[in-house]
Amino acid sequence: MYRAPIKDIRFVLRELIGESGLQACPAFADYSFDLADAVLEEAGKFSENVLDPIYKSGDRDGARWSPAGVTSPPGFKAAYAQFVEGGWPSLRAPPEFGGQGVPAVLGTAVEELWGASNLAFKLCPMLTQGAVEALDHYGTDAQKAAFLTKMVSGEWTGTMNLTEPQAGSDLSQIRTRAVPDGAQHRLFGQKIFITWGDHDCTPNIIHLVLARIEGAPAGVRGISLFIVPKFLVADDGSPGERNDVHCISIEHKLGIHGSPTCVMSYGQGEGAIGYLVGEANRGLEYMFVMMNAARLSVGLEGYAVAERSFQQAAEWARTRVQGKPPVAGSSPQSPIIHHPDVKRMLLTMKSQIEAMRALGLYTAYQLDLGRGHPDPAARAAAQARGDLLIPIVKGWSTETGIELTSLGVQVHGGMGFVEETGAAQAYRDVRITTIYEGTTGIQSNDLVGRKVGRDRGAAIGALIADMQRELDAIATDDPQLAGTKAAALRGVAALHEAVGHVLEAGAKSPDSLYAVSVPFLKLCGIVAGGWLMTRSAAIAAAQLGAGATDRDFLLGKCATARFYAAQVLPQVQALLPIVAQGAASVVETDAALL
């Protein structure tokens, strides 16, 4: 049974991030810890009492397709109705359309709870949120009036329709046509991998669709963005005539069975009516607003599902009696949590989950400052840092999430491979996250090419300088904290060196740069996690020294940071020579030899 990790989320929001930076932004002047606590408490209850109970059944029963449409798993429609009734879809949305306008950092914290308690369910409101952001940025006043209020309330949901059978991640190859028809267009084509593209939870679904207007340039420069509702909107704002868009099948997947992954057909008859968003041929640019938000959201799914897996593995280890640990004393057998290797696996999970959570929330906080800080220089610096960190959060957190959920199966032993224990479901569900919204390779190429190469390392250099300064300022009277700090500083030094190798490779050979981009991304994530874990340990140690009463939690923060420094951060020293010297072994190998 999942339990929302409110205490650790609260620690990150209060101790690592604070409230003053957000309160300096006019849009978030009313933000406070009390507000965050109230939202998290209610979100925790919803995740535990509504979403978690349909987690396993949603996997077992799955979404079902018929010619009449897609039926969600039993319990999902009722849960979504409660989700809307609770006001959750509007949490981060603009107030002018009925949204609550809370900071992204708080919205991201809440999203973790949805992702951990029921990832298949969480994907539906996630995509609606992204569609709302895209329309808020680029839609006309008439389009916003027609669609946003109902999408913000959750009465209608939204989707993102990008790829096609022949295109995959290469959106330059999309063929869906948009034929001008007066003030609108008629779309013809097929889209695949459309998450929650059809369902029975709401009376209307608003699709954002990439297509080519006839005569548009080839490649990505000729792509436009369209609003294509499942049902056309009547004059009174209600769903009217059925549009010519249909789900013709759903995929049978490794995991997230409760989330329908749809093949969508546009224009089986006279064409699906679509409304152009913004200017023609700028669709991919507009869609990137939605994709950027989704990349951070998918990144947090990596550590959210890992948190669920850790909780289940830890509970199993506390109750599973097997074997005699070396320090078991006179007891012939003991719960396996006392076996050193089981403790190692659980600490591997817990420490990295805490590091990923801290980095994910820190990144969301930077985006808040980037959008809302009154000082233009501070706003630009925060936006640059948030943009830099998004591919790291997305790539590192999802790759690590797969590793940790695999460890969750391992802790269970043979019973982890049996579906009845539930350990395998988290492993299956999280596997998609390294692929969603761009594979890890796409994220790492974005990181080294756009986020590091384009400004010649300025944004990452500023981050490294802040890491160095904050770590140097930590007092280390405690020997254990001193060791944690030293390991974190070694990591920062390695990152600084790695950036130099990346910039050098980028100046000489794109192939050499991209051949080591994923190792570089992982190195960035591990080092950033070490920085935040060390800060957390220093805060926890200071609170313990001041007589704080929640000793077990604070001691746990120190212990996970110590483990991270001893068994996770040393991986950086193995990744550094790969970044420095590993490209040739890739670039110089003939593909025919593979």
Q: Check whether 328 has a pLDDT greater than 80.
A: no
Question: How much is the pLDDT for 56?
Answer: 97
Question: How much is the pLDDT for 168?
Answer: 82
Question: How much is the pLDDT for 331?
Answer: 66
| Predicted TM-score of the model (pTM) | 0.97
Q: Check whether 326 has a pLDDT greater than 90.
A: no
Question: How much is the pLDDT for 289?
Answer: 78
Residue in this structure with the two tokens 């160095």, named with its chain if needed: 468
Q: For helices 376-411 and 283-319, what crossing angle results, to 10°? A: 40
* pLDDT band at residue 195 under the 50/70/90 scheme: very high
Question: How much is the pLDDT for 96?
Answer: 95
Pick the residue with more confidence: 555 or 326?
A: 555
Mean pLDDT of 14-37: 97
Q: Check whether 167 has a pLDDT greater than 90.
A: no
Average pLDDT, the chain: 96
**Three-class SS of residue 74?**
coil
% of the chain residues with pLDDT over 70: 99
Q: Check whether 251 has a pLDDT greater than 80.
A: yes
Q: Give the separation between CA 155 and CA 158, rounded to whole angstroms.
A: 10
Residue in this structure with the two tokens 């006392």, named with its chain if needed: 338
Q: Give the separation between CA 511 and CA 503, rounded to whole angstroms.
A: 13
Name every residue whose Cβ is closer than 8 Å to that of residue 293 and which is 6 or more positions away in sequence.
129, 130, 133
Residue 73 one-letter amino acid: P
Cα-Cα-Cα-Cα dihedral sign, residues 308, 309, 313, 314: negative
Q: Residues 396-448: pLDDT tens digits?
A: 999 999 999 999 999 999 999 999 999 999 999 999 999 999 999 999 999 99
Name every residue whose Cβ is closer than 8 Å to that of residue 2 and which is 6 or more positions away in sequence.
47, 48, 52, 55, 116, 117, 308, 311
Q: Give the separation between CA 130 and CA 136, rounded to whole angstroms.
A: 10
* 569-to-355, 400, 531, 572 alpha-carbon distances in Å: 11, 14, 10, 6
**Three-class SS of residue 252?**
coil
Neighbour-count burial of 588, counting CB atoms closer than 10 A to its CB (0-12 exposed, 13-18 middle, 19+ buried)? exposed
Q: Which two tokens stand for residue 452?
A: 């590091």
Q: Determine phi and psi for 9, rounding to 5 degrees.
A: -60, -45
Active site residues: 437
**22-32: b (≥16 Cβ within 10 Å) or e:** beebebbeebe
Q: Give the separation between CA 337 and CA 106, rounded to whole angstroms.
A: 34
Q: Determine phi and psi for 206, rounding to 5 degrees.
A: -105, 110
Cβ(488)–Cβ(474) below 8 Å:
no
* pLDDT band at residue 144 under the 50/70/90 scheme: very high
Cα 350 off chain centre by:
18
Cβ(55)–Cβ(118) below 8 Å:
yes
Q: Residues 278-291: pLDDT tens digits?
A: 999 999 999 887 78
Mean pLDDT of 66-94: 97
Q: Residues 90-124: pLDDT tens digits?
A: 999 999 999 999 999 999 999 999 999 999 999 99
Cα 247 off chain centre by:
26
Q: Check whether 236 has a pLDDT greater than 90.
A: no
Question: How much is the pLDDT for 235?
Answer: 84
In this structure, how many other beta carbons lie within 10 angstroms of the beta carbon of residue 265?
Answer: 17
Mean pLDDT of 191-219: 96
Question: How much is the pLDDT for 74?
Answer: 98
Q: Residues 542-554: pLDDT tens digits?
A: 999 999 999 999 9
Q: Give the separation between CA 239 and CA 214, rounded to whole angstroms.
A: 29
Opening angle at CA 145, ends 184 and 216, nearest 5 = 30
Q: Check whether 32 has a pLDDT greater than 70.
A: yes
Half-sphere exposure of 378 (CA within 13 A, CB side): 11
% of the chain residues with pLDDT over 90: 92
Question: How much is the pLDDT for 330?
Answer: 54
